[in-house]
Amino acid sequence: MTLYPEMFPGSLGVSIAGRALKNGRWSCETVQIRDYAEGKHKNVDDTPTGGGAGMVLRPDVLSECIAATKLEGDTRPLIYLSPRGKTLTQARVRELAAGKGVILLCGRFEGVDQRLLDHENIEEISIGDYILSGGEVAALTLLDACVRLLPDVMGSHASGDDESFENGLLEYPHYTKPREWQGLEAPEVLRSGDHGKIAKWRREQAEKVTQERRPDLWAKYSESDD
């Protein structure tokens, strides 16, 4: 649900997600919020009650849009992309990817009327501690994270197993050819052919980079590993 349906599928129409879309592995339906506004000018927003800058999306318009979007007996999560929401995690992405789909509400202006969020029991999700012009980019981010986990979307089932956040750690460093570049060589252990040593090195590097860059993740990982 968006005021800018032309932003979809956007980047999800190319590469891995684009091929999956073309092959019917997933689909994306856009709903124009303005179609559910009344009056000559189809206004979807109004000034904030109590004063202040900006405009707020009206609950009556959004409620009509939601009602028209939901299917009978719909159990798909209804999510509002908002900087006030809980931060999106890989664990939540896995839950959503394993479900029947999602209904995403993309806000604009100063946001949406709180009464709509309360009445519809909408889940608020944030993709980070910063402000975007609207929820569309955040929605694309959430969809991309989910789509790549769908069956037969990624080329190798194991390709995502060691990626950042999948096992509670950031990912280890990667190297490829040429063997020497700008006076720097790929680590000898990775060229040893000893898979046990390689796995051990990668694990140690993942732990090291997590400790250095994300002490919050390292603390959680350490607790779960006890």
pLDDT at 156 over 70: no
Residues 165 and 139 grouped into a single domain = no
pLDDT digit string, tens, across residues 60-119: 999 999 999 999 999 999 999 999 999 999 999 999 999 999 999 999 999 999 999 999
Residues 36 and 76 grouped into a single domain = yes
Q: How many CA atoms lie within 13 A of 192 on its CB side?
A: 12
The CATH code of the domain that includes 79 is 3.40.1280.10
Q: Single out the residue in 105, 121, 147 at which a domain terminates.
A: 147
Q: How many CA atoms lie within 13 A of 129 on its CB side?
A: 0
Has this prediction a pTM greater than 0.85?
Answer: yes
Examine residue 41 and state whether it is found in any structural domain, yes or no: yes
| Burial class, 12, CB count within 10 angstroms (exposed 0-12 / middle 13-18 / buried 19+) | buried
Examine residue 155 and state whether it is found in any structural domain, yes or no: no
Range of the domain at 28: 5-147
Residues 88 and 176 grouped into a single domain = no
Containing H/E element for 78? strand 78-87
pLDDT at 226 over 80: no
Residues 62 and 96 grouped into a single domain = yes
pLDDT at 3 over 60: yes
Q: Single out the residue in 117, 147, 177 at which a domain terminates.
A: 147
The CATH code of the domain that includes 193 is 1.10.1270.20
User: For the chain, how many structural domains are there in total?
Assistant: 2
pLDDT digit string, tens, across residues 165-208: 888 999 999 999 999 999 999 999 999 999 999 999 999 999 99
For strands 103-106 and 180-181, give the pairing: unpaired
